[in-house]
Amino acid sequence: MSKQLDLLAQMGRDFAASQDIEPIMTRALARIACLVEAEGGALFLLNSAEDSLICHASYGPVDIMGLSVPSDQGIVGRSLAHNVCEMVRDVSLDDSFHNNLDQQSGFSTKSILCAPMVVRGRTGAEERIGAIELVNKTDVHGLFSVNDLKFLEVLAASAGLAIHNARMAVELAEKEVMRRELERAAEIQRGLLPPPGDGNFPISGVNRPARVVSGDFFDHFLLYDGRIAFTLADVSGKGMNAALLMAKSASLFRCLGKEDLRPGRLLQRINAEVCETSMRGMFVTMVAGVYDPESGRVVLANAGHEPPLLHKPDGTFVALPAGAPPVGIPIELTGGGPIPEDVLFLDGGCLYIFTDGVTEGYISGQDELGTDGLKAMIMDGLREKRSAADRIERVAECLSKSEEPLRDDVTILVIDDAANALTRCATLADRSREDQKPDKPIVGSLCKLSLPARAQSLILVRRAVEASANLSGFSKEQTQDIVLAVDEACQNVVRHAYKGELDGDMIVEIRREHGNYIILIRDFAPPVDESKIKPRDLNDVRPGGLGIHFIREVMDSMNYLSPPDGQGNLLRLKKAIL
């Protein structure tokens, strides 16, 4: 009896000392077999599907490590299925015994002792672990006894509990590692979001993940000319897969968004990149846009996302539905063209962009917030004179405080044009007063256009130049000449800088500076060599090619400046206001 107790104690110490239970099971089986005086033995564990018993420890003349048998067959399967110990003194008389292994190995199995390993799980239900099987008693009688059966039953129960606890310890350790990895991933994700701006910045965002990591994101950053690029997106699904696609989409937006100022075309490029590598069935609903604080103008593209809400100064809301399917839909199904764009002016209002986790979030019990509820919360925030950032923060907090857990990530982005609209009004008032002081020159931007570098776009440039030149006091003839000169310069951008390609952009800004009328024409084509831009000899009589002569004839000066970000070309035309 003392040897049996010593074995139980030693097994307990061994299993508690290490999480690697495979060698411990082998040693324990050998000790059990020696103590019971068995010729051989095996320790079987039930696989996760519970349809096979696999040998994880083997003792005796025949090594059956890795042997798999159906969990509902054989003596060992019967013992585990019925949770009873089996003692078969003559296997030839038991129909459940299969002698295939004996025939292959030459070993002769005469008698079997088998005990199941079954424990109580966390829920109180029985959890099957496996079984220990011993073969052929080696004493003079060659038969297992009832005491052997009882002893094996106790040892099997102890071994089953130890294996169960070891598995639990491994599972807990793996969960802890996963928890730490998720926390690190969440920290990296938070680093991808833009930092909170000061109270004067017009764009604010908030993100509340439903799990540790999020499939939503928002971003915004300043462009070289003072405009602000922004986006908000929602990746399908949840968990790590969604988080990884979120990180990729966010990186693509920030990288490509600094090269391509057209939101629709930017989403087209992101879609092409995502389609190449995204997992089948995953997609991203995404809104991208560019906001100009100087005019309140927003160019917006929506790929399959929830309709943003434009809240006008008069209190009305306008929904802006998606014009294209989500990002990640195969190009062969969508055609792969640019996402349609909407152009709107905030005029002192706000633009709210949000994920479906907002409108489908619970506010009390099983009540969803819905679009109407979101509008009501926005109006409440305005009556309470909350800032735009506080208004969306309050919405997120309301959804997070619900008794129900978040059904989905909650992400909201707001563009508040109120402060910039006041600045624009004040600037217009100042300019109006300056107009009444003829001795004081006007300094500032009269007009700024951002448009595709296409011939069809130049009608807007011609109209803007004509109106601003008239207001600046030029005569009708001078105005016509200026319009033609600027048109010729823009045509050169379309035809020569971009070589007729349809995916270029240009920015035309009209300014008055200290008695001078200034035109700035910016493109993003490869830099030109100014030394090679020379007017053609006037004696060379052939169509075209005299645009440079005309521009220099009309304008007082024409020269290229260094762009602020070093990209593209910046042409400056100047004419004195007499």
pLDDT at 538: 45
What's the domain range around 559?
Answer: 441-576
User: Residue by residue, what is the 3-state secondary structure of 443-499?
Assistant: CEEEEEEEEECCHHHHHHHHHHHHHHHHHCCCCHHHHHHHHHHHHHHHHHHHHHHCC
Question: Are 400 and 450 in the same domain?
Answer: no
State the first-to-last Cα distance of the chain, in angstroms, to the nearest integer: 118
How far apart CA 250 and CA 242 sit, in angstroms, is 12
Nearest to 76 by CA among 21, 47, 46, 114: 114
Question: Are 297 and 159 in the same domain?
Answer: no
Tokens of 5: 């107790």
Is residue 191, in this structure, part of any structural domain at all? no
Helix, strand, coil percentages, rounded to 5, for the chain: 40, 25, 35
Nearest to 221 by CA among 239, 195, 247, 189: 195
How far apart CA 311 and CA 348 sit, in angstroms, is 9
Residues pairing with 449 in the sheet: 508
Long-range contacts of 434-442 (CB under 8 A, 24+ apart): 441/512, 441/513, 441/514, 441/515, 442/512
Nearest to 193 by CA among 416, 354, 351, 411: 411
**pTM attached to this predicted model:** 0.58
Q: What are the C-alpha distances in Å from 542 to residues 491, 494, 500, 534, 535? A: 19, 21, 22, 16, 13
Q: Is 18 helix (H, G, I), strand (E, B) or coil?
A: coil
Question: Are 73 and 163 in the same domain?
Answer: yes
Is residue 192, in this structure, part of any structural domain at all? no
Question: Are 395 and 461 in the same domain?
Answer: no
How far apart CA 211 and CA 241 sit, in angstroms, is 13
Is residue 178, in this structure, part of any structural domain at all? no
How far apart CA 78 and CA 112 sit, in angstroms, is 13
Is residue 187, in this structure, part of any structural domain at all? no
Question: Are 383 and 480 in the same domain?
Answer: no
Final residue in a domain of this structure, among 418, 450, 468 = 418
Q: How many CA atoms lie within 13 A of 441 on its CB side?
A: 13
Final residue in a domain of this structure, among 351, 385, 418 = 418
Q: Looking only at Cα atoms, what is the longest distance across the chain?
A: 128
Tokens of 496: 């020569």
Nearest to 226 by CA among 448, 456, 452: 448
Q: Is 521 exposed, middle or buried (0-12, 13-18, 19+ CB in 10 A)?
A: buried
Render the burial of 5-19: b for 16+ CB within 10 Å, e for the rest.
eebeeebeebbeeee
Nearest to 412 by CA among 424, 400, 395: 395
**Residue labelled with tokens 């007009």:** 447
pLDDT at 540: 47
Q: How many CA atoms lie within 13 A of 436 on its CB side?
A: 5
Question: Are 242 and 118 in the same domain?
Answer: no
How far apart CA 451 and CA 460 sit, in angstroms, is 9
* 159, 25 Cβ separation under 8 angstroms: yes
* 45, 163 Cβ separation under 8 angstroms: yes
Render the burial of 368-393: b for 16+ CB within 10 Å, e for the rest.
ebebebbeebbeebeeeeeebbebbb
How far apart CA 277 and CA 249 sit, in angstroms, is 11
Is residue 447, in this structure, part of any structural domain at all? yes
Is residue 425, in this structure, part of any structural domain at all? no
Question: Are 126 and 216 in the same domain?
Answer: no
Question: Are 218 and 339 in the same domain?
Answer: yes
* 355, 232 Cβ separation under 8 angstroms: yes
pLDDT in tens, the chain (578 residues): 556 556 666 666 666 566 667 888 888 888 888 888 899 999 999 998 889 999 999 998 888 899 998 988 899 999 998 999 999 988 888 888 888 878 877 888 889 999 999 988 766 788 899 999 999 988 877 788 898 888 888 888 888 888 888 888 878 877 777 777 667 766 666 666 787 777 789 999 998 887 766 778 899 998 877 889 999 998 887 767 777 788 888 888 888 887 777 888 889 888 888 887 766 668 889 999 999 998 888 999 999 999 999 999 989 999 999 989 998 887 777 676 778 888 899 989 999 999 998 998 888 767 888 999 999 999 999 999 999 999 999 999 888 876 667 778 889 999 999 988 888 777 655 655 555 555 545 557 788 888 888 888 888 899 999 998 988 888 889 999 999 999 999 998 888 888 877 678 889 999 988 788 999 999 888 888 777 665 555 444 444 456 788 898 899 999 988 877 667 889 999 999 87
How far apart CA 284 and CA 278 sit, in angstroms, is 10
* 298, 344 Cβ separation under 8 angstroms: yes
Which CATH number does the domain housing residue 114 bear?
A: 3.30.450.40
How far apart CA 478 and CA 484 sit, in angstroms, is 10
* 351, 378 Cβ separation under 8 angstroms: no
Which CATH number does the domain housing residue 370 bear?
A: 3.60.40.10
Question: Are 226 and 305 in the same domain?
Answer: yes
The length of the chain in residues reads 578
For residue 314, count other CB atoms closer than 10 A to its CB.
Answer: 7
Question: Are 414 and 445 in the same domain?
Answer: no
Final residue in a domain of this structure, among 363, 383, 418 = 418
Which CATH number does the domain housing residue 456 bear?
A: 3.30.565.10
How far apart CA 172 and CA 166 sit, in angstroms, is 10
Is residue 180, in this structure, part of any structural domain at all? no
State the total domains in the chain: 3
Is residue 432, in this structure, part of any structural domain at all? no
Cβ neighbours for 209, distance < 8 A, ≥ 6 positions apart:
186, 189, 216, 406, 409
Question: Are 98 and 231 in the same domain?
Answer: no
pLDDT at 197: 72
Question: Are 217 and 267 in the same domain?
Answer: yes
Cβ neighbours for 496, distance < 8 A, ≥ 6 positions apart:
none
Q: How many CA atoms lie within 13 A of 268 on its CB side?
A: 17
Q: Is 229 helix (H, G, I), strand (E, B) or coil?
A: strand
